[in-house]
Amino acid sequence: MSLNTAISGLQAFQQQINVVGNNIANVNTTAFKSARTDFEDTFSQALSGGMQVGSGVNLAAIPSNFTQGTVSTTGVGSDLAIVGQGFFTVSNAAGTIYATRAGNFHTDLAGYLINNDGLQVLGVGSAPLQVDPLTVASYSIDQNGFINVVKKDGTTAQSGQVQLVSFADTSQLVKQGDNRYSWTAAAGPSAFAAPQTAGTGLGGIQSGALELSNVDLTVEMSNLIIAQRAFQANARIITTSDEVMQEVVNLKR
């Protein structure tokens, strides 16, 4: 039994090391949200006299920490940072919509606002945002997400508004890589049925800036040491159990 208990510990703490390692690897990833490991004990075996002995540990969950990351000024007008709650929305060529906190955007040759992977940034109503390069001389994005353009003829106008969405339960968001999240109904009502925008309780948008990773290296290095020591301790239990079993075998000789 002690062998199985120790093996469960090795597996659990190996996963914790993996999670911590991923956090550290993404310390410079735009808007990355760190994760942690939550453990739970397994079924306890009942012994005589009402006593119980545990049979190991399980990995219960790997929740993400969605606290605000530091906002860093870049000076690039198309870079956007959300100060507060909410997510940008982006869509691929197939029409699949993702949520993201990473606002490192730019315009393509057709004038669409896109991210580094070419996904189009969505405006209110889930429509792609476009700044027509044939008529627009320059543009800026204000704290409410409105795209204010200066046309080549000197007139000014608004060209859409960046859509922000929120979720009742961010723990139900699914990481898809490339700074993107998908979600299920468990995350809350679909934000796209009634689009929410910056300035409506979802925080503001800061242009010319990006949200940095919220990974705290001091905390992660401490967690790494703890996980490593726990892994070593469980490995030692396996060694000790093997020695005890060997002694039992020797007694029969």
Q: What is the secondary structure of 39-104 as a DSSP string?
A: EEE-PPEE-GGG-EE---EEEEE--B--PPPPEEE---TTBEEEESS-EEEEE-TT--EEEE---B
Q: What is the three-class DSSP state of 24? A: helix
Are 78 and 192 contained in the same domain?
yes
Helix (H) or strand (E) run with residue 241 in it: helix 217-251
Instruction: Please tell me the pTM assigned to this model.
Output: 0.86
pLDDT of residue 166: 87
What is the structure's pLDDT at 252?
A: 65
Looking at the structure, do residues 7 and 46 belong to the same domain, yes or no? yes
Strand, coil or helix: what is 237?
A: helix
36 & 120 share domain? no
CA 223, distance to chain mean position in Å, is 19
Q: CA-CA distance, 198 to 72, in Å (whole number)? A: 19
Q: Are residues 178 and 204 in the same domain?
A: yes
Cα end-to-end distance, the chain, whole Å: 23
Range of the domain at 83: 71-211
| pLDDT surpassing 80 at residue 220 | yes
Task: Give yes or no: residues 78 and 143 share one domain.
Answer: yes
pLDDT in tens, 140-164: 999 999 999 999 999 999 999 999 9
- Both 22 and 103 in one domain: the answer is no
Between 201 and 245, name the one with better pLDDT.
245
Tens of pLDDT, residues 75-95? 999 999 999 989 999 999 999
188 & 234 share domain? no
For the stretch 105-141, pLDDT in tens is: 999 999 999 999 999 999 988 899 999 999 999 999 9
Please state the domain count of the chain.
2
Q: Are residues 190 and 110 in the same domain?
A: yes
In a shared domain, residues 168 and 112: yes
